[in-house]
């Protein structure tokens, strides 16, 4: 009889003896369960932007990576805005002209200063040269600030253009194409993508085994398809609520699948490994 069946107080020694007797039996019983290997998630890819779907670069069955551009909306206006912002942000002729004007004004001020020290020019001429040099410096500073604003506008325009791209949020496989080019993408899913790295292994364990499986335990998983090889998975979730109808509790394991060799939706056998 296991600890969970006691209905009366027991001593610490009795508890330890009961645990020691129960553990070998539990370890030997943690095998022979049916399981299902499922995608970690199934995502319907959409966009918050309004517009017409212009192109898709992937279709059903294609592998995709997180961040990969898999299509885009019509973007003629956004591209034109980027081109205009680039032209404004890369115009250097005005900056070069103002830099030359400032250099000339500084040289002129220095000459006037020398003449003033030699008492060969009036104080008014000296003030005039100094003021002109300051105005030239201010004009250059203003032009530099305008170019900085143009660069910020260019960054914003590029961001708006990038928002017209449709990117995959996960590593996975396209399950279904829900929209064709030429259709309006407003508030509609475009693709359905199954995340295949990692995979989730789901099992339902009889309540008699509750407490024998802990987060962090490892298990050998054998997918049921031709040519499959055993895989190792790690327990990530042990449900703390028992399903009264079936007298079972759920357990989830994480199964790495970086090369997408293991398909999702396949049944499997599982055997928990001893520490």
Q: What gap in Å lies between CA 82 and CA 5, rounded to an integer? A: 72
Instruction: Name the residue among 219, 253, 224, 248 with its Cα closest to residue 236.
Output: 253
Q: Which of 32, 30, 70, 72 is nearest to 51 (CA)?
A: 72
Q: What's residue 101's pLDDT? A: 80
Mean pLDDT of all residues in 166-173:
92
Higher pLDDT, 21 or 82: 82
pLDDT score of 254 more than 70:
yes
The region of weakest confidence among 31-35, 217-221, 243-247 is 31-35
Provide the percentage of residues in the chain whose pLDDT is more than 90: 53
Mean pLDDT of 173-196: 92
Cα-flanking dihedrals φ and ψ of residue 82, to 5°? Answer: -65, -45
Q: Give the pLDDT of residue 251.
A: 96
- What pLDDT score does 127 carry? 78
Domain boundaries, the chain: 25-47+194-272, 76-162
CATH 2.30.30.40 for domain 25-47+194-272: no
Q: Name the strands in the sheet holding 165-167, side by side, starting at the edge strand that comes first in the sequence.
A: 53-56, 69-73, 165-167
245 pLDDT more than 70: yes
Of the candidate ranges 8-17, 145-154, 185-194, the one whose mean pLDDT is the lowest = 8-17
3-class secondary structure, 47: coil
Q: How many DSSP H helices and E strands does the chain contain?
A: 4, 11
Sign, Cα dihedral of 190, 192, 196, 202: positive
pLDDT band at 120 (very low <50, low <70, confident <90, very high): low
Residue 9 has pLDDT above 80, yes or no: no
Structure-token match 């995959």, residue found: 168
Can you say whether residue 239 is alpha, beta or left, with left for phi > 0 and alpha for psi between -120 and 50 degrees? beta
Q: How many CB atoms lie within 10 A of CB 272?
A: 24
Which DSSP symbol is given to 184? B
Average pLDDT over residues 99-123: 75
Q: What is the pTM of this model?
A: 0.64
Q: What phi, psi does 17 have (nearest 5°)?
A: -65, -40
Using an 8 Å Cβ cutoff, are 157 and 82 in contact? Answer: yes
pLDDT confidence band for 185 (50 / 70 / 90): confident
Give the whole-angstrom CA distance, residue 183 versus residue 243. 45
What is the average pLDDT score of the chain?
A: 83
198 upstream amide cis, omega within 30 of 0: yes
């Amino acid at each position: 009889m296991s600890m969970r069946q006691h209905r009366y107080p027991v001593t610490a020694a009795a508890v330890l003896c009961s645990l020691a007797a129960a553990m070998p039996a539990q370890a030997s019983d943690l095998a022979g369960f049916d399981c299902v290997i499922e995608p970690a998630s199934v995502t319907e890819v959409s966009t918050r932007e309004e517009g017409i779907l212009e192109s898709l670069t992937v279709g059903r069955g294609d592998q995709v990576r997180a961040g990969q551009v898999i299509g885009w909306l019509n973007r003629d206006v956004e591209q034109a805005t980027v081109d205009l912002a680039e032209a404004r942000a890369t115009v250097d002729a005005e900056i070069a002209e103002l830099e030359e004007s400032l250099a000339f004004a500084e040289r002129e001020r220095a000459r006037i200063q020398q003449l003033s020290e030699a008492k060969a020019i009036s104080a008014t001429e000296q003030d005039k040269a100094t003021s002109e040099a300051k105005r030239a410096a201010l004009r250059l500073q203003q032009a530099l600030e305008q170019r900085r604003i143009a660069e910020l506008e260019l960054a914003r325009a590029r961001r708006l253009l990038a928002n017209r791209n449709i990117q995959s949020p996960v590593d996975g496989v396209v399950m279904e194409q829900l929209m064709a080019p030429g259709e309006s993408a407003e508030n509609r899913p475009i693709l359905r993508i199954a995340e295949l790295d990692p995979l989730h292994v789901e099992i339902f364990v009889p309540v008699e085994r509750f407490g024998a499986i802990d987060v962090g335990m490892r298990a050998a998983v054998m997918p049921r398809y031709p040519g499959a090889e055993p895989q190792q998975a790690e327990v990530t979730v042990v449900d703390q609520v028992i399903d009264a109808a079936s007298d079972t509790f759920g357990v989830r394991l994480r199964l790495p699948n970086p090369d997408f060799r293991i398909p999702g939706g396949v049944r499997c056998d599982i055997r928990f490994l001893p520490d």
